[in-house]
Amino acid sequence: MKSFLAPFIALAVCTAPTASVHAADGFAWKDTEGKHADLTFNGRNVARYQYERINDERREETYKPYHHVYDWDGKGFITKGHGGQFTHHRGIYFGFSKCSFTKADGTEESKQDTWHCKKEHQTHEKFIEQTADAKTAKQTVEIDWHAKDGFVFAKETRSLMFSFAGDDLVVDFKSTLTPTVPKMRVDGDPQHAGFQFRASNEVNNKTKGQTYYIRPKTGKAEHGKTINWSAKTDNETTRDLPWKGMSVVVGEQRYSIAYLDSPTNPKPARFSERDYGRFGSYFATDLTPEKPLTVNYRLVIRKGEYKADEIKVLSADFLK
């Protein structure tokens, strides 16, 4: 596991991406200005940051930034973009369906939804850092969270680090969310909040009967069987899990994703699963400008399958 735990070297900080930031061999960034930034490894597409600012004529497509993951041929995505079943699901993404805040003048605002984004939205503001070398690539961006009236009530610094452990793609996700108001709260429910991964819409349309989950307490589940947190299922199988695995079929190829949580993230963390390929967890917490919210997660994406013991080892390495 040393390949993705190694420190970055020679990191460059920039306020806007150049056309290509790369090492002689290994990872490289290529930006399509104002649209998306693609990450390649030895010339093969690995991931894409979709960051086009909100466009009123194409609002649904552009109301929040997110990250795609390419298949292992680098030709198509194993993650979902806009449209399809539940258009608000987007690859690797972060948001909450129940945000509330108090402004400096005492005005209270509730029911601000940065998950569905029907009236709210998130905008990419700038690239803080975008670097690549032979072993790792990192991208740090600033994202504004807008209320229904367009008011920016929080600023997020979102950072993703990419590396390989053998053939497995490792994605380290870190986010710091800082309110622009005196008080703020994030909340939601297991299906509509937190840090989530959504597989290609092909899973929903063609292969969801082949989706299965791997859980810390019970191991590999039956195909198509899901367990979700609720007040009735609030126990060690649905709450505060160190990890969870999901396995789906995209393009006639099976891919498996290990989702690793950190004990430093707010708790309780309530987990959800869907046979169409979305899973993750959410929590509720309060934050202020002096005490922003910082979360850390890791995804390890494999072409093929996992055994429960393998994900357990990945979790232990992540915690180190």
How do residues 143-192 score in pLDDT, each as one tens digit? 999 999 999 999 999 999 999 999 999 999 999 999 999 999 999 999 99
Give the residue ranges of DSSP H helices in 150-299.
201-202
Which residues 6+ apart lie within 8 Å of 227 measured at CB? 213, 215, 221, 233, 237, 238, 273
Question: What's residue 77's pLDDT?
Answer: 98
3-state class of 119 per DSSP? coil
Bridge partners for 31 per DSSP: 37
End-to-end Cα spacing for the chain: 11
**Measured distance CA(319)–CA(35) in Å, rounded:** 35
Segment holding 132, helix H or strand E:
strand 121-132
With b for 16 or more beta-carbon neighbours within 10 A and e for fewer, the 274-302 pattern comes to bbbbbbbbbbbbebeeeebbbbbbbbbbb
In this predicted structure, the answer to whether residue 5 has a pLDDT above a threshold of 80 is no
User: What is the residue-averaged pLDDT of the chain?
Assistant: 93
Residues 91/78, Cβ–Cβ less than 8 Å: no
Q: How confident is the model at residue 33 (pLDDT cuts 50, 70, 90)?
A: very high
3-state class of 45 per DSSP? strand
Q: How confident is the model at residue 16 (pLDDT cuts 50, 70, 90)?
A: very low
3-state class of 133 per DSSP? coil
CA distances in angstroms from 196 to 22, 35, 68, 176, 185, listed in the order given: 28, 22, 12, 16, 19
**Measured distance CA(97)–CA(186) in Å, rounded:** 8
Domains of the chain are: 2-6+20-319 (2.70.98)
Percent of the chain exceeding pLDDT 70 equals 92
Hunting for tokens 């995804």 — which residue is that? 299
Question: What's residue 6's pLDDT?
Answer: 41
| Token pair for 182 | 């005196």
**Which residue, 213, 291, 205, 297, is CA-closest to 248?**
213
Sign of the torsion formed by the C-alpha atoms of 94, 121, 201 and 35: negative
Question: What's residue 257's pLDDT?
Answer: 98
Residues 127/139, Cβ–Cβ less than 8 Å: yes
With b for 16 or more beta-carbon neighbours within 10 A and e for fewer, the 63-72 pattern comes to bbbbbbbbbb
In this predicted structure, the answer to whether residue 307 has a pLDDT above a threshold of 80 is yes
Q: How confident is the model at residue 8 (pLDDT cuts 50, 70, 90)?
A: very low
**Measured distance CA(164)–CA(229) in Å, rounded:** 32
